[in-house]
Chain A
Amino acid sequence: MLLPKFEFHEPESIEKALVLKKQFNSGARFLAGGTDLLVYLKKKIVSTDHVISLQRIEGLGEIRENESDLFIGACTTMAAISRHPAVQKRFCALKSGADNMGTHLIRNRATIGGNVCNASPAGDTLPALLVYDAAALVISPDGKRDIPLRDFFKGPGKTDLKNDEILTGFRLPNPPDHSGAHYIQLGKRKSAEINVVNAASFLTIDPGAGNILSVRIALGSVAPTPIRAPEAEAALMGNTAGDDAFNAAAEIARSRDCSPIDDFRGSAAYRRAMVGVLTKRTLAAAFDQARA
């Protein structure tokens, strides 16, 4: 398996990247870390005459703490996300997702923008981004737009990005006080795994009354895209946080919020059962953090 021949471009600004993309139209592919794209090219799943690297564009690889949110550039690697203090402190579910992707070598190359644009239902950082209510920041020759992440995924490998757009990064609102979040991935082995099921939950509670002020649950590998679990979330809103509420929500997520299929990694029945287990466990762990 040899890498096919293509022309390689390394623009140093977004503007130049946009011009190049327009010039080659759909014949060009953007490259961030390359851990998906190069494999697809070798396996001839994707063919292209032009590869436009985003790696030399300033700012795309940085994490910036703003007053009310965290900006993560699209070309930030899993390794960089994992060791960033703000991520460790306030977005630990995202750190878990980044830590669980592939191997050390992959994590040193793979980017969060690539993980999102690859749009695998099993993507490691996607449930966390969904429960942190991230927005994808997109630029095109026509200007900028923000896409809420829950609207970003359109199918396996399909996204809301238009042909002339570049994903520049993500904005994650700072979680309010008394919040917690947790991510769990389940596979056949303990690392370097493609998830059979993954899930993340986010909770904010009223520290006095103990009721749930906001909740988001995201599930991976159980639908054509990573999804939120709206019915389970609705069942939790306003209720008292605790095992009873979490068990009930887990049952709803299991029975109503997901639509898994059989494939060689696992059966639909097992995936569905695990949605229940992981929903319950991520909620409970998020709750522990929220009241800590």
Chain B
Amino acid sequence: MKSYDVISTRANRIDTPDKATGKAVFVDDITLPGMLYGALLQSPHAHAKILSIDTTEAEKLPGVKAVITAKEAGQVKYGVSPARYDETVFAVDKVRYVGDEIAAVAATSLDVALDAVSRIKVTYEELPAVFTVEDAVKDGAPQLHDEFKGNLCAEVHQEFGNVAEGLENSDIVITTEMKSKRQDGAFIEMQGCIAEYDNRGVLTLTSSTQVPHYVQRTVAMVLGMDVGKVRVKKPYVGAGFGIKAAANPMELACCMLAKKTKKPVKMNFTREQVFMYGRARHRFHHTITTGAKKDGTLMALKHECWLDGGAYTSFGIATVYYTGSLLGGPYKLANMSYDGYRVYNNKPACGAQRGHGAVIARACFEQQLDMIAEKIGMDPLELRIKNMMETGDTTCNDLNMRSFGMAECIEAVRNGSDWDKKKGHMPPGKGIGMACGFFVSGAGYPIYRSDTFHGTVIVKLTEDGGTALVYTASAEIGQGSDTAFAMIAAEALGIPLENVRLASGDTDMGVDLGAYSSRQTLMTGHATKEAAENVRRQVLEVLSEQLNVPVEKMDIRNGFIEFDGDTPDFSALRTRYIKEHRGWTDNPDSDKLTFKEASRIAFLERGSIVGTGKYKPHSLGGKFKGAAVGTSPAYGCSAQVAEVTVDMDTGQITIDRITDAHDCGKAINMTSVEGQMEGSISMGIGEAMHEEVIFDNQGRVLNHDLAEYKIVTSMDMPRVKTIVVESDEPNGPFGAKEVGEGAIMPTIPAILNAVYDAAGVRVYELPLTPERVFHAIQEYRERTRASA
């Protein structure tokens, strides 16, 4: 096995010192000379016609520099997928949810801006509103968008193999439902941005975003500007989880205000506005039927899902496809059908969140695997091993697993949790359960149709020699991508990590589709590796000329030049280097020629040494409609075992322990991989146990703060044992693939299966609040009493 010097270690993250000391700059830390503050007017009604907007009083207020509405902003439609642009920056004619944007103000202070917003007079004619999928699809229901009759935003119908026949040939057929609740990403940093418009007509937007590239394109399109005149950059970002993976109306309004006032304008969402804007995980309602043979062989999977979409599409088209496409695996399954429906209603739009579209489907399906195992008297872990896909397998919907350490993951959690000793032997009120899952390492295509590279990277060596500068437009949002790419560059170049400096998150640095779909490690990683190798080759070429040694006989490792066989006499090069650095204190005296000397010589011979790298996926499988959603160059996979205690009198669940194994191909940074595994588990536990966005009957969010929207606290987090499995992905840089989203897949079903093991109850609706579990236990007791 190849040995590495930089990757595969637990290197300290390059952003840690700044974050630990408070020096790291986020949007809200930035103040510019002459900066104005912006504020939004948002609809108080869930559904209403706008009869008139009067901004006179707002404009009169001293300190107000601009007030804009749809009249000034225009009516350019935008959204996430060009297949479904259904939003305008400001409401035209009508508002569709509480929070729909109507106007924006820029003023000399936030106080004044908010005051001005309150002086904008809007006359509404309230319209009947719908808040649930069930109500929205009824005959005669209020309609949100004229173009989409019946409030049906999107539907998907797919069948692979022959499901009816598969079910007919099954000995056991199980049908269950699963309902979840709308989530919020609950990232720490609320969305914020600053727009500047300079004297040469260039608009610069600094934003808390996951996707500078897509924001750049949307800003250019909506403002009618040349893409080349729009620059989007991100400072440090306090997470996104998918919600920040598209341009938001505040960013667009901010750009318009800056362009109009010719002054920098800053805007922020409050936490309440974060909830009002939404765009996090949909509420899903699945009905799944799974058929299996008596020996445990899975035969067929029939899947229907209704997605509660909210007022606009956002990522919804991708979501409704992902919900279907990421289910059958990681199991061998020849027959699978899917009918998905995404429905509009008068709530904030839902979008993408960690484990996009696939989390609740898996929570339903993985419980059924346990039910099947129970019926045939098989260990649920063995049932999964029996059906598990192997490296090289392709699912019935054309997802090809070039590397797949699923079996290794299952064995790892079996041993790590002591499964064989515990399963079936837990004391009353305690239970153990497991589940598996997989996820994409980036989408095969950008969101818009294009032949673009998905990532480009520039590596430049400093002219003095010794330091590599890496420029990437990718988005560090807290996940550790800057460190990962610095490590990849260092490894590929053969120099220590401290000799790499990296700048990222700026559209001026190139193209990078950003942090979503767990794509950056694989895709940006490839581009980084290619750029670094390019630079490395240039340095070695110069050395080859100077020393008369073939390039292939030389290597760069740990900052030194290594020669195959005898080390040639490089004293002339060293003398040349030292001559230029008289009086310097750090002149080389090592036995080996240093990279510093070599790169300086390379500059003296060739000028600045710059290498570029790029990546786009090879042509991926699937010719059917929707095949592009789910196909990926690689798939990460994972298995988890959860151990729980259920208080049978109160319904309270304590998660005692989770054992998690994830195949990330190759860990670039071992600590970061484990961090993603633990973070995924934390988010999965929150969704399983207590997170839900709650609305009143007027469509207003009731729990729009982190006191009442209950994410996991340190007290709720169990001990987690993380086991990293490395399968060496052929399509990944140094064999690496995703970990950020796949690791959430098994969490919820593993908990649900453990709860069943502990309490004998299956719960088909999330979250597992004490009350819901209490009622399930009561029903179970009544049922068992009646049958006794």
Cβ-based interface call for A84 (8 A): no
- CA separation between A277 and B652, bound complex, in Å? 12
Residues of A within 8 A of B272 (CB): 1
Stretch in A63-71, A164-172, A186-194, A282-290 with 4+ CB within 8 Å of B? A186-194
Residues of B within 8 A of A191 (CB): 713-716
Residues of B within 8 A of A277 (CB): 649-650
Cβ-based interface call for B771 (8 A): yes
Residues of A within 8 A of B716 (CB): 189-191
- Shortest Cβ gap from B188 to chain A (Å): 14
Residues of A within 8 A of B707 (CB): 192, 194
Residues of B within 8 A of A209 (CB): none
Report whether over half of chain B's contact residues are helix, strand or loop; otherwise say mixed: loop
Q: Are B694 and A188 in contact (CB under 8 A)?
A: no
- Shortest Cβ gap from B703 to chain A (Å): 7
Residues of B within 8 A of A193 (CB): 710
Can you name the residue of chain A whose Cβ is closest to the Cβ of B109? A2
Report the count of interface residues on A (CB-CB < 8 A). 20
- CA separation between A194 and B713, bound complex, in Å? 13
Can you name the residue of chain A whose Cβ is closest to the Cβ of B703? A264
Can you name the residue of chain A whose Cβ is closest to the Cβ of B775? A270
Cβ-based interface call for A218 (8 A): no
Cβ-based interface call for A237 (8 A): no
Q: Are B710 and A266 in contact (CB under 8 A)?
A: no
Cβ-based interface call for B702 (8 A): yes
Can you name the residue of chain A whose Cβ is closest to the Cβ of B647? A277
What are the interface flags for A1-29 relative to B under an 8 Å C-beta threshold, 1 for contact and 0 otherwise? Answer: 11000000000000000000000000000
8 Å CB interface, B102-154 against A: 110-111, 114
Cβ-based interface call for B49 (8 A): no
Q: Are A189 and B712 in contact (CB under 8 A)?
A: yes
Cβ-based interface call for B708 (8 A): yes
Q: Are B771 and A2 in contact (CB under 8 A)?
A: no
Q: Are B708 and A186 in contact (CB under 8 A)?
A: no
Q: Are B774 and A188 in contact (CB under 8 A)?
A: no
- CA separation between A270 and B272, bound complex, in Å? 29
- Shortest Cβ gap from A72 to chain B (Å): 25
Of the candidates B114, B702, B769, B770, the one whose C-beta lies within 8 Å of that of A2 is B114
- Shortest Cβ gap from A172 to chain B (Å): 28
- CA separation between A264 and B181, bound complex, in Å? 14
Report the count of interface residues on B (CB-CB < 8 A). 28
Residues of B within 8 A of A189 (CB): 689-690, 710, 712-713, 715-716
- Shortest Cβ gap from B649 to chain A (Å): 5
Cβ-based interface call for A273 (8 A): yes
Can you name the residue of chain A whose Cβ is closest to the Cβ of B273? A1
Of the candidates A1, A103, A192, A267, the one whose C-beta lies within 8 Å of that of B771 is A267
Cβ-based interface call for A196 (8 A): yes
Cβ-based interface call for A93 (8 A): no
Given A277-B649, A277-B650, does the pair A2, B710 have CB atoms closer than 8 Å?
A: no
Q: Are B774 and A186 in contact (CB under 8 A)?
A: no
Can you name the residue of chain A whose Cβ is closest to the Cβ of B767? A188
Cβ-based interface call for B587 (8 A): no
A-B CB pair tally, cutoff 8 Å: 52
Report whether over half of chain A's contact residues are helix, strand or loop; otherwise say mixed: loop
Residues of A within 8 A of B713 (CB): 103, 189-192
What are the interface flags for B686-728 relative to A under an 8 Å C-beta threshold, 1 for contact and 0 otherwise? Answer: 0001100010000000110001101011111000000000000
- CA separation between A274 and B650, bound complex, in Å? 7
Residues of A within 8 A of B694 (CB): 264
Q: Are B111 and A2 in contact (CB under 8 A)?
A: yes
Cβ-based interface call for B270 (8 A): yes
Residues of A within 8 A of B769 (CB): 188, 266
Q: Are B715 and A190 in contact (CB under 8 A)?
A: yes
Residues of B within 8 A of A187 (CB): 770
- Shortest Cβ gap from A90 to chain B (Å): 26
Residues of A within 8 A of B770 (CB): 186-188, 196, 270
Of the candidates B270, B649, B702, B708, the one whose C-beta lies within 8 Å of that of A194 is B708
* Residue of A189, A192, A274 contacting most chain B CB atoms (<10 Å): A189
8 Å CB interface, B627-663 against A: 649-650, 652, 654
Of the candidates B270, B702, B715, the one whose C-beta lies within 8 Å of that of A264 is B702
Q: Are A2 and B650 in contact (CB under 8 A)?
A: no
- CA separation between A101 and B779, bound complex, in Å? 33
Q: Are B110 and A2 in contact (CB under 8 A)?
A: yes
Q: Are A1 and B270 in contact (CB under 8 A)?
A: yes
What are the interface flags for A189-211 relative to B under an 8 Å C-beta threshold, 1 for contact and 0 otherwise? Answer: 11111101000000000000000
- CA separation between A232 and B751, bound complex, in Å? 38
- CA separation between A191 and B714, bound complex, in Å? 8
- Shortest Cβ gap from B149 to chain A (Å): 33
- Shortest Cβ gap from B706 to chain A (Å): 8
- CA separation between A188 and B270, bound complex, in Å? 25
Of the candidates B649, B654, B710, B714, the one whose C-beta lies within 8 Å of that of A188 is B710
Q: Are B771 and A270 in contact (CB under 8 A)?
A: yes
* Residue of B650, B689, B702, B712 contacting most chain A CB atoms (<10 Å): B650
What are the interface flags for A258-289 relative to B under an 8 Å C-beta threshold, 1 for contact and 0 otherwise? Answer: 00000010110010011001000000000000
- Shortest Cβ gap from B178 to chain A (Å): 20
Can you name the residue of chain B whose Cβ is closest to the Cβ of A271? B771
- Shortest Cβ gap from A236 to chain B (Å): 20
- Shortest Cβ gap from A181 to chain B (Å): 20
Of the candidates A103, A186, A188, A267, the one whose C-beta lies within 8 Å of that of B690 is A188
8 Å CB interface, B729-788 against A: 767, 769-771, 774-775
- Shortest Cβ gap from A149 to chain B (Å): 25
- CA separation between A264 and B771, bound complex, in Å? 12
Q: Are A266 and B712 in contact (CB under 8 A)?
A: no
Can you name the residue of chain B whose Cβ is closest to the Cβ of A192? B713
8 Å CB interface, A230-276 against B: 264, 266-267, 270, 273-274
- CA separation between A186 and B654, bound complex, in Å? 13
Residues of A within 8 A of B650 (CB): 186, 274, 277
Can you name the residue of chain B whose Cβ is closest to the Cβ of A274? B650
9 extra A-B contacts, CB within 8 A, seeds A188-B689, A190-B716, A191-B716:
A103-B713, A187-B770, A188-B770, A189-B713, A189-B715, A196-B771, A270-B771, A270-B774, A277-B649
Instruction: List the 5 shortest-distance A-B pairs measured between CB atoms, nearest first.
Output: A190-B715, A191-B715, A188-B690, A270-B771, A191-B713
Please list the residues of chain B having a beta carbon within 8 angstroms of any beta carbon in chain A.
Answer: 110-111, 114, 270, 272, 649-650, 652, 654, 689-690, 694, 702-703, 707-708, 710, 712-716, 767, 769-771, 774-775
20 contacts between A and B (CB under 8 A): A2-B110, A2-B111, A103-B713, A186-B650, A186-B770, A187-B770, A188-B689, A188-B769, A188-B770, A189-B689, A189-B710, A189-B712, A189-B713, A189-B716, A190-B713, A193-B710, A196-B770, A196-B771, A264-B703, A270-B770
